[in-house]
Structures are given as C-alpha cells and as structure tokens.
Amino acid sequence: MLQLRPNCEYCDKDLPPQAADARICSYECTFCAGCVETVLHNVCPNCGGGFVPRPIRPAAERRPGLCLATRPASMARVHLSYDKPAIAAFVEALRDIPPEKR
C-alpha cells in the first residue's frame, strides 16, 4: 500500500492525498510535478528512476475498509538525502537516458 507521503522532498510543497500534482518513483520517493518537470527532469534523485502521477486514494468508503479514514496517509515529512548541487549533477548525467533504459 502506498504511504501517500505529505510533501515534495525537493521544495517541501504540501502534497495531500488528493493532490493531482504529486509524482512518485517506484520506491515512492515523492515530489511535486513542478520539481519533476523543471528541476529533476524525470530523474528521481534518490534512485535514478522515472516518475508517474501518484494515484488518489478515495476519501469515501466505496468498498468496506478502503478509504483515507481507514488507511490514512503518512504524516512523516521527507527531506532530501543529497544536497542540491549533487542532485543537479546526478540529474544531468541521467536525464537524457529514458527511464526504461536506466
């Protein structure tokens, strides 16, 4: 089950569960669409993978036990593991390689 992390690791923007601009990598590293497009260029700075839009968990209980109230989003904010110059160099090295070939 996805943790639904509460913020962009890069700019710290709030990304609540219903945010349409949340992006995740396969490890659920979480960033906003703006950072993914303009800074990260579809390179996760933690793992080197690409991003997809994060699915939105229904707020309403459409099926028994399956909704935000019973399966709540994470409240633990996550911050960068590398400094921004190191991330820029990492992104530069990988951005021209499509994710399926990284």
Stretch that binds Zn ion, among 38-46, 53-61, 71-79, 84-92 (CB under 5 A): 38-46
Tokens of 92: 């530069």
Q: Which of 24, 25, 43, 78 binds Zn ion (CB under 5 A)?
A: 25
Q: Tokens 């099926």 belong to which residue?
A: 63
Q: Which of 44, 78, 87, 94 binds Zn ion (CB under 5 A)?
A: 44
Interaction between residue 78 and Zn ion (CB under 5 A): no
**DSSP per-residue string spanning 1-63:** -----SB-TTT--B--TT-TTEEE-TT--EEEHHHIIIIITT--TTTS---EEPPPPPSS-SB
Stretch that binds Zn ion, among 13-21, 53-61, 64-72, 89-97 (CB under 5 A): 13-21
Nearer to Zn ion, 38 or 70 (CB): 38
Residues 6+ apart with CB under 8 A from 20: 53, 56
Pairing of strands 22-24, 52-53: antiparallel
Q: Which of 35, 43, 78, 87 binds Zn ion (CB under 5 A)?
A: 35
Residues binding Zn ion (CB under 5 A): 8, 10-11, 13, 25, 27, 29, 32, 35, 44, 46-47
